[in-house]
Amino acid sequence: MHWYPRYVPVDEQRARTVSEIQGLRARGVEVQPIELRGRTIARNFWGRRWCEHLESFSEYAARLAHGRAYVRNGSICHLSIEPGGVDALVVGSAPYRVSIRIGQLDTLTWTAIRRACVGHIRSLLDLHQGVLSDHVATVVTNRDTGVFPQPGEIVPSCECEDRSTMCKHAAAVLSGVGSRLDDSPELLFVLRGVNQVELISTDPAPAGEQVPASAPEPDMRNGMAPNPAAPTGPAVDGATGIDLSAVESSSVNDVAASPRKVKKTLTYRPPMPAAGLPRTAPSDDEAVTFEPTGELVAELREQCGCSVAEFADLLQVTPTSVRRWESTSGSLHLHARPWEALLALFEEIEKHRG
């Protein structure tokens, strides 16, 4: 039995999800599915920046590509965002409950962000729509010191049997958060446990609060004047407005609760292949004749409804390989593992066609 996941047509996947949602609602369960308009997961400022932030971490890149396919197929029946975590239900080969614990923003980092934004955001509407000066946008979305979580603050847990750190269902939920933030950007601040209204306040700090020094005067792009009441202090980082002398005392809050233990066994990732096994056709004892071509690869990818990156993740190859295959005329000369992966996918699709 090969290790490759069973191919499920997109229509069948969507029908499963709709059935699951209807069943939950019939039982009186309030669900919040992720429903895209088109195939773009996030169109607005906060949703796009959330997705771009996660994709900037190499350890997430491959899994997020597969997770995005789940989101586009409408496989997330439910996704709710609460302080410190995300709970979701994702339909794969079965419905899987996914819980992602996300550490809340530590006080020092939030205070530095707030200080840098004082007087430069006119309203909550501007904040939600991402109508921000370049300076403020840089501060709040900074990869290391902004409002978005770091990989060490993200702890996923899923009921599936994939024993990798982040399964494709958890990756789908993280991408689904980007879609949810498109419509409800205020949930980002709920998730991180901070009060978004504090970014609008013109008061540099509540009475008695110890804060880092203010940021240097930004290069204003939207015509707003800097706050004249903001005090000056020790040197700060020009890009983020964070007091560098105070950072050494900061520590990120630990995740409030450990993820539940889930029994997992390896079902998706293949064993390491033997090196140097070029193969362009099945051996004599195999009953099928299968000759992969660039045109066939493109057709299989289209049948799956995958992007190049998503198709590459499914086959466990690089996107560059997929692009090279599709641009090649005639037969492809492949190693054993990608040849077998294409064969397994081809057989699954032919089975459904028949």
Domains of the chain: 10-247 (no CATH), 278-353 (1.10.260.40)
**Is residue 148's pLDDT more than 90?**
yes
Stretch 191-213: mean pLDDT: 68
Cα(65)–Cα(130) distance, integer angstroms: 25
**Is residue 340's pLDDT more than 60?**
yes
**What integer pLDDT is reported at residue 204 of this predicted model?**
52
Distances (CA, A) of 203 to 59, 110, 166, 283, 285: 40, 15, 41, 75, 78
Higher pLDDT: 142 or 345? It is 142
Confidence of residue 353 (pLDDT cuts 50, 70, 90): low
Confidence of residue 155 (pLDDT cuts 50, 70, 90): very high
Stretch 74-103: mean pLDDT: 90
Cα(264)–Cα(252) distance, integer angstroms: 29
Nearest to 311 by CA among 288, 333, 281, 338: 338
Stretch 309-330: mean pLDDT: 82
**What integer pLDDT is reported at residue 175 of this predicted model?**
93
Per residue in 265-293, pLDDT tens?
222 233 333 333 333 444 444 434 778 89
**Is residue 133's pLDDT more than 70?**
yes
**Is residue 170's pLDDT more than 90?**
yes
Confidence of residue 127 (pLDDT cuts 50, 70, 90): very high
Cα(321)–Cα(312) distance, integer angstroms: 8
Tell me the average pLDDT of the chain.
75
Per residue in 243-266, pLDDT tens?
444 434 433 344 334 443 333 322
**Is residue 233's pLDDT more than 70?**
no
Confidence of residue 145 (pLDDT cuts 50, 70, 90): very high
**What integer pLDDT is reported at residue 202 of this predicted model?**
62
Residues in the chain: 354
**What integer pLDDT is reported at residue 258 of this predicted model?**
40
Per residue in 7-44, pLDDT tens?
556 667 777 778 888 888 888 878 889 988 877 888 89
CB atoms within 10 A of CB 312: 22
**Is residue 241's pLDDT more than 80?**
no
